[in-house]
A and B are shown apart, each in its own frame.
Chain A
Amino acid sequence: MAQIFPRSANALARASVFVALFLAAAGGYALWTLAHSGYVTREGIILQQPVPFSHDHHVAQIGIDCRYCHTSVERAASAGIPPTQTCMNCHNQIWTNAAVLEPVRASWRDGKPLTWNRVNDLPDFVYFNHSIHVAKGVACTTCHGRIDKMPLMYQGAPLTMKWCLDCHRDPVPNLRPREEVTNVLWQPPADLAARQKEWALANHVQSKVSCSNCHR
């Protein structure tokens, strides 16, 4: 019986092994990329909000400190989302007729809260505490990105466990002086690395990688 496959088919068979390996690797790479992409982590994705609140405007242009609205960031696990009252402190004086602020005025009028879509959302089994990070000299922008450059809010970092642990294993390169934590325009000094070691000592910064530090 004549051979079914010509001799040249051998080369094809050999090549197909490499093609298969390549495809598997490419598939794996694609999945890996997807899992770490903004699509899954939501990094950089802008969510629809009831009011197109601009951090760019309020922080960079007006210069309001983060803690004016996020009042509990130094005292509690949650930084706090401002009550309507905080908005109305200014907006009962300025932009009182702006159409874009109607939901805020309606909330104030009717006593019904605004409902925002959560941008920085950790899984429910993760217990993050803002106050301790701020106390140790981890700046707002370190995790939230350059808030002052966000006309609309998006997640500034992947917020994956690997990302958390990268810093938790070696927090020193991410430190600032405590009083500069909310300063979005902070300029690092020239001898940053040396100073960071000092700040770490001063604020008792430790590497914390036990499971129960974040999971309870």
Chain B
Amino acid sequence: MTDLLMPHPAPATPGGSTTTGDCHVEWKKPSAAPVSVNLAAARERLQSRGGATYWRSLEELAETPEFGELLDREFPRFASEWPDGVSRRNFLQLAAASLGLAGLTACTRQPIEKIVPYVRQAEEFLPGKPILFATSMALSGVATGLLIESHNGRPTKVEGNPEHPASLGATDAVTQASVLGLYDPDRSQAISQLGKAATWTTLNQQLTSALTAQSAFGGAGLRLLTGPVTSPTEARLIAALLESYPQARWHRWDPLARDGATKGLTEAFGAPVGMRFDLAKADVVLALESDFLTAGPGSVRYARDFADRRKVGHPEGAAATMNRLYVAESSPTATGTVADHRFRIRPSQLGGIVQALAAAVGVAGVAAPPLDTASAKWVAATARDLAAHRGAALVVAGETLPAAAHTLVAAINEALGASGGTLLYSAPIEADPVDNLTSLVALLDEMKAGKVDLLLVSGVNPVYDAPADLEVAAVFQGSSALRIHHGLHDDETAAYCQWHVPATHYLESWGDARAYDGTVSLVQPLIEPLYGGKTTGEMVGALLGRPTDDAYTLLRETWEGQMGGETFESAFRKLLHDGMVPASALAPSQPAWVGASVSAAVQALAGEPAGGELELALRPDPSVLDGRFANNGWLQELPKPITKLTWENAILLSPRTAEKLGVKGNDVAELTSPDGRKLTGPVWLLPGQADGVATVHLGYGRTRAGKVANGIGFSAYAAQTLASRYGLPSVTLAATGDSAELATTQGHQSIDWMREESEQATERAIVRQATLSEFEQDPHFAHAGAHEGIDVNASFNPGFEYKGYSWGMVIDLNACNGCNACVVACQSENNIPVVGKEQVARGREMHWIRVDRYYQGDVDEPSAIVSQPIVCMQCEQAPCEVVCPVAATVHSTEGLNDMVYNRCVGTRYCANNCPYKVRRFNFLLYQDWETEQFKLQRNPDVTVRSRGVMEKCTYCVQRINRARIPADRDQRQVADGEIQTACQQACPPQAISFGNINDPAAKVVADKKNPRNYSLLEELGTRPRTTYLAMVKNPNPELSA
């Protein structure tokens, strides 16, 4: 048995101790091994329900007893079980003690607290009032402009910079979670040499002597390994280094690098080009194995532009504004779920499909290869649709496609007239773009040959995340070079370097970087480096013999050189204030096409291996990406967009493929590649997955990431080779006979409408959708058949009149892509704890906003996958309020369903009575009250909840008060848009609107008047304040017929 099946150390709190509560009791789930699903029963069940039914999991369809439990009970069975070994005697003892102690709590006096004022107070500082600073976070070198909320000098919350083109005010999930990364207690905290604490001075003495030796032969033994660099300052310093040491070499490595696109476009245009999309102009989009709306550079902006074309309000003209998205992918992604047509394909089919498309849109020199009937049909229809929208069509190729496919896609886009409209070419944003894998291989070859004397590894972790056959660890170990590792953690690569220097987090750094469109974005620190730490620029500076120059000096140098002059000081301050250099986006250009590239690409694609019985696809994890965010508890506990798995990765198989291979869900299976590499992990049945494809997410199985990430999941890099970076065309899979329990939230908080089989149940479905033509015929389709003859407003009591504010929210299901940014934003804003895998498995995750994922249609061929964010509905007639024996949840005069933590005694009646299942209970002391770093992260405007207390979404009442009090002070109304809830602000497609429904000009009122607006479980008469806009799909009539 592999270590996968060993009980994982349950990381309770990010980086905290492994005990989840303050009671230090070992918890064991009393249930037996996980029950696997009877697929035949599931299919039969679905058949009897009719095709258009929505369902959430195979367990639900198969009507397993476990699912029934989830549905019937607010908390799954055993969720409130006593720890093992509690006898009646213990129980009575504890009950008596708690009764006694409950009385005693009233007798405690508050401790005397301290006030520590400044000696010299900073300008513009108001105690208790957060200040926003503009900065940027670079991911794989590409920046997103941010505004960081700082409370008394502590960064607590990340928001997007509304003026930054890559953000427009929104952020993605990893950016939201990055603030937790700053306070990660597992970050390396000191410079070390061979594991012993050392100093910057000693390191620099060693560097000086090594560099003196190097300068004799032009730095021939000096090597630099970094991630992709877009930063003008870093690029300038590296260029200076290469100038001083002409024989030195600069290598790049980043597992997320878009090598295929870089190479493919270089082939097409003869030189590297930058590429970005303008989705506002795109009427028809085809994404090939690409999750461009939630992953990769510019995705936040793309999601916004894309969704803006789908927020249809008035049926007249809807067809003119609404775009159409085709997605062909092997494993369902967030982008796939919003597609109008989603095709399940195997990665090995992509080459043929790209060629067929190229031929169909008229790319000269490409012949359509033979395709199976189904593929041929959709390729033909898609190509016709794309060609019909010439100039407003776009094909997006995923980063896992081979370079030749990228060349062909560029040719297709050329034939569709995309360039200059939906697609913009420019100079590359990266300094000296290279093929990362080639670059890393070159470095390793030289190390093997003993040509490297001094190596600086900055911000990358190749020992963990490079293809296994490169054997980076062995090469590092065998090298005689002086190896210096610079990174946030003392990670896998640091273990193979003599020196380790802690890096600064971006919230502690000075620097700059370019955004997806080239906009130069400034990075300024929000806090002094917690543990010293150096930036990449400072490390290169040290190599340049400037060890004492800090990042600020280096940054100023760059911009003084560019802007110069007497006005520099004020101009530079303006750059820092704005967070970016105005109008620095790279100018669009039209690079010249290299004629022979198409035929070369066709030839190259012909050489791609054909797919075997089972293909393996290796993809970055939707939450922790390539593993760089693995030690972030928020991201680990974030249910992944489609699988809803937390805390680990799995082998994803379609139900049909699993049946064929003779494995069941939760079986532990072993994947074997032709060259004998093995991956062992649990199988997860994923409807919507392409048949014959096993998808495994990278980023797990870390060994030196920290307390949160170490030892969870399995590393898929073990199966990666030079030739198969993104997967293998043929692998075998065999069950090992073991089974594993996975912590998925897909069945948790299931709303109890799904089992009903009456026509009515379908009509008042939780998720409502129609096609564009249906919407045009009947704009009020979302209300068809609903609450006929029921007056949901009927009451014996006179209603309450909301004279002032009356808050409300609308969530547009047509804009939501299920990217999870809202979930992390809410967690960050509202001090929501991390509970650990074991507690998630018990259904005790604490997220106030959850994203429910529904499938529609067949188990093997789901017709739709829908994401539905669920927050507290703030019901007007709230079922939770009437059952609370201590009035801990009551209505406010502004319509909020207030939750009063200090009144709550933990009866959980409210949660039991909530039809939307949005209430979360602190079964244990989930908050880490010990770790100093986490105390700095918390939002001081939100109470930190303790054990035994119920909590739920408050509509960010602290933000409401923060806006309402100053408005009241100035004797005015809060303006529309002045209050943004955390989920709303983070949402890349801006699917959420919030405001005062008494203000006729508010956006939320306009949204509530949208004919697509409907309430969940309206017939219960709860009168929710959160309502939803039904989905409208825009299918191609040719394909839907």
A residues with CB within 8 A of B: 35, 39-40, 42, 47, 72, 75-78, 80-85, 107-108, 111-118, 121, 123-125, 127, 129, 131-132, 135, 203-204, 208-213, 215-216
Q: Is the CB of B109 within 8 A of A213?
A: no
Q: Is the CB of B110 within 8 A of A115?
A: no
| Contact A132 to B957, CB < 8 A, known contacts A124-B943, A211-B890 | no
Q: Is the CB of B957 within 8 A of A212?
A: yes
How many Å from the CB of B102 to the closest CB on chain A? Answer: 15
Q: Is the CB of B121 within 8 A of A85?
A: yes
Task: Closest A residue to B117 by CB, please name it.
Answer: A81
Chain B residues with Cβ under 8 A from A135's Cβ? 968-969
Is B114's beta carbon under 8 Å from chain A? Answer: yes
Chain A residues with Cβ under 8 A from B893's Cβ? 208-210
| Contact A113 to B116, CB < 8 A, known contacts A72-B127, A210-B898, A212-B961 | yes
Within the assembled complex, what's the spacing in Å between the Cα atoms of A171 and B944?
A: 30
Query: Would you mind naming 20 contact pairs between A and B with Cβ atoms under 8 Å apart?
Result: A72-B128, A76-B126, A76-B128, A76-B129, A80-B126, A81-B127, A83-B118, A84-B117, A84-B118, A84-B120, A113-B117, A115-B114, A115-B116, A121-B110, A127-B961, A131-B965, A132-B969, A210-B896, A211-B890, A212-B954
Within the assembled complex, what's the spacing in Å between the Cα atoms of A117 and B128?
A: 18
The 5 A-B pairs with the shortest beta carbon distances in the complex, nearest first, are: A210-B892, A83-B118, A76-B126, A211-B898, A78-B128
How many Å from the CB of A183 to the closest CB on chain B? Answer: 20
| Contact A216 to B106, CB < 8 A, known contacts A125-B943, A131-B965, A211-B892 | no
Chain B residues with Cβ under 8 A from A127's Cβ? 941, 958, 961
> Which of B902, B968, B969 is close to A125, meaning CB atoms less than 8 Å apart?
B902
Within the assembled complex, what's the spacing in Å between the Cα atoms of A112 and B965?
A: 34
> Which of B106, B902, B960, B969 is close to A215, meaning CB atoms less than 8 Å apart?
B902
Q: Is the CB of A213 within 8 A of B120?
A: no
Chain A residues with Cβ under 8 A from B117's Cβ? 80-84, 113-114, 116
Task: Closest B residue to A210 by CB, please name it.
Answer: B892
Interface centre among A35, A40, A210 (most CB of B within 10 A): A210
How many Å from the CB of A129 to the closest CB on chain B? Answer: 5
Chain B residues with Cβ under 8 A from A129's Cβ? 961, 965
Complex interface residues of chain B between 120 and 134 (CB less than 8 A to chain A): 120-121, 126-129
Chain B residues with Cβ under 8 A from A107's Cβ? 119
Is B901's beta carbon under 8 Å from chain A? Answer: yes
Is B115's beta carbon under 8 Å from chain A? Answer: yes
Q: Is the CB of B113 within 8 A of A35?
A: no
Is B364's beta carbon under 8 Å from chain A? Answer: no
Further contacts, 18 of them, CB under 8 A, given A80-B126, A116-B114, A208-B893: A80-B127, A81-B117, A82-B117, A83-B118, A83-B120, A83-B121, A84-B120, A114-B116, A114-B117, A118-B112, A121-B110, A210-B894, A211-B892, A211-B898, A211-B900, A212-B892, A212-B960, A216-B943
Q: Is the CB of B969 within 8 A of A112?
A: no
Chain B interface residue count, CB cutoff 8 Å, equals 41
Q: Is the CB of A108 within 8 A of B119?
A: yes
Within the assembled complex, what's the spacing in Å between the Cα atoms of A39 and B108?
A: 11
Q: Is the CB of B118 within 8 A of A113?
A: yes
Is B942's beta carbon under 8 Å from chain A? Answer: yes
Q: Is the CB of A76 within 8 A of B113?
A: no
Task: Closest B residue to A81 by CB, please name it.
Answer: B117
> Which of A35, A76, A117, A118 is close to B106, meaning CB atoms less than 8 Å apart?
A35
| Contact A76 to B119, CB < 8 A, known contacts A210-B892, A210-B893, A211-B890 | no
| Contact A116 to B115, CB < 8 A, known contacts A204-B971, A212-B957, A215-B902 | yes
- Give per-residue flags for B898-920: 1 if the beta carbon is below 8 A from chain A beta carbons, else 0: 10111000000000000000000
> Which of B113, B891, B958 is close to A118, meaning CB atoms less than 8 Å apart?
B113
Chain A residues with Cβ under 8 A from B901's Cβ? 125, 215
Chain A residues with Cβ under 8 A from B960's Cβ? 212
Within the assembled complex, what's the spacing in Å between the Cα atoms of A72 and B126?
A: 6
Interface centre among B106, B115, B129, B943 (most CB of A within 10 A): B115
Q: Is the CB of B119 within 8 A of A83?
A: yes
Chain A residues with Cβ under 8 A from B110's Cβ? 42, 121, 123
Q: Is the CB of B954 within 8 A of A216?
A: yes
Q: Is the CB of B119 within 8 A of A77?
A: no
Within the assembled complex, what's the spacing in Å between the Cα atoms of A208 and B957?
A: 15
| Contact A40 to B957, CB < 8 A, known contacts A112-B119, A113-B116, A215-B943 | no
Within the assembled complex, what's the spacing in Å between the Cα atoms of A21 and B411?
A: 95
- Give per-residue flags for B736-753: 1 if the beta carbon is below 8 A from chain A beta carbons, else 0: 000000000000000000
Q: Is the CB of A213 within 8 A of B106?
A: no
Within the assembled complex, what's the spacing in Å between the Cα atoms of A85 and B825?
A: 38
Within the assembled complex, what's the spacing in Å between the Cα atoms of A132 and B962?
A: 11
Task: Closest B residue to A124 by CB, please name it.
Answer: B943
Task: Closest B residue to A114 by CB, please name it.
Answer: B117
How many Å from the CB of B317 to the closest CB on chain A? Answer: 41
| Contact A121 to B128, CB < 8 A, known contacts A210-B898, A212-B898, A216-B961 | no
| Contact A40 to B109, CB < 8 A, known contacts A72-B126, A83-B118, A212-B892 | yes
Task: Closest B residue to A80 by CB, please name it.
Answer: B127
Q: Is the CB of A118 within 8 A of B129?
A: no
Within the assembled complex, what's the spacing in Å between the Cα atoms of A124 and B942?
A: 9
Within the assembled complex, what's the spacing in Å between the Cα atoms of A210 and B129?
A: 23
Chain B residues with Cβ under 8 A from A124's Cβ? 943-944
Q: Is the CB of B116 within 8 A of A216?
A: no
How many Å from the CB of B665 to the closest CB on chain A? Answer: 42
Within the assembled complex, what's the spacing in Å between the Cα atoms of A127 and B962?
A: 11
How many Å from the CB of A154 to the closest CB on chain B? Answer: 13
Q: Is the CB of A77 within 8 A of B128?
A: yes
Chain B residues with Cβ under 8 A from A75's Cβ? 126, 129
How many Å from the CB of B710 to the closest CB on chain A? Answer: 34
- Give per-residue flags for B942-961: 1 if the beta carbon is below 8 A from chain A beta carbons, else 0: 11100000000010011011
Chain A residues with Cβ under 8 A from B902's Cβ? 123, 125, 215
How many Å from the CB of A24 to the closest CB on chain B? Answer: 16
> Which of A42, A84, A118, A211 is close to B115, meaning CB atoms less than 8 Å apart?
A118
Within the assembled complex, what's the spacing in Å between the Cα atoms of A76 and B968?
A: 13
How many Å from the CB of B881 to the closest CB on chain A? Answer: 11
Chain A residues with Cβ under 8 A from B115's Cβ? 81, 115-118
Chain A residues with Cβ under 8 A from B961's Cβ? 127, 129, 212-213, 216
Chain B residues with Cβ under 8 A from A203's Cβ? 971
Chain A residues with Cβ under 8 A from B958's Cβ? 127, 216
Chain B residues with Cβ under 8 A from A210's Cβ? 891-894, 896, 898
Within the assembled complex, what's the spacing in Å between the Cα atoms of A88 and B116?
A: 16
> Which of A78, A108, A112, A117 is close to B112, meaning CB atoms less than 8 Å apart?
A117
Chain B residues with Cβ under 8 A from A215's Cβ? 898, 900-902, 943
Within the assembled complex, what's the spacing in Å between the Cα atoms of A77 and B969?
A: 12
Within the assembled complex, what's the spacing in Å between the Cα atoms of A175 and B198?
A: 64
Q: Is the CB of B968 within 8 A of A132?
A: yes
> Which of A35, A108, A112, A118 is close to B114, meaning CB atoms less than 8 Å apart?
A118
| Contact A76 to B114, CB < 8 A, known contacts A83-B120, A135-B969 | no
- Give per-residue flags for B198-235: 1 if the beta carbon is below 8 A from chain A beta carbons, else 0: 00000000000000000000000000000000000000
How many Å from the CB of B351 to the closest CB on chain A? Answer: 56
Chain B residues with Cβ under 8 A from A77's Cβ? 128-129, 965
How many Å from the CB of A189 to the closest CB on chain B? Answer: 23
Q: Is the CB of B943 within 8 A of A212?
A: no
Interface centre among A112, A129, A208 (most CB of B within 10 A): A129
How many Å from the CB of B109 to the closest CB on chain A? Answer: 6
How many Å from the CB of A186 to the closest CB on chain B? Answer: 21
Within the assembled complex, what's the spacing in Å between the Cα atoms of A118 and B969?
A: 27
How many Å from the CB of A107 to the closest CB on chain B? Answer: 6
How many Å from the CB of B935 to the closest CB on chain A? Answer: 12
Chain B residues with Cβ under 8 A from A209's Cβ? 893
How many Å from the CB of B867 to the closest CB on chain A? Answer: 29
Within the assembled complex, what's the spacing in Å between the Cα atoms of A88 and B471?
A: 65
Within the assembled complex, what's the spacing in Å between the Cα atoms of A82 and B117?
A: 6
Chain A residues with Cβ under 8 A from B900's Cβ? 211, 215
How many Å from the CB of A35 to the closest CB on chain B? Answer: 7
Complex interface residues of chain B between 753 and 811 (CB less than 8 A to chain A): none
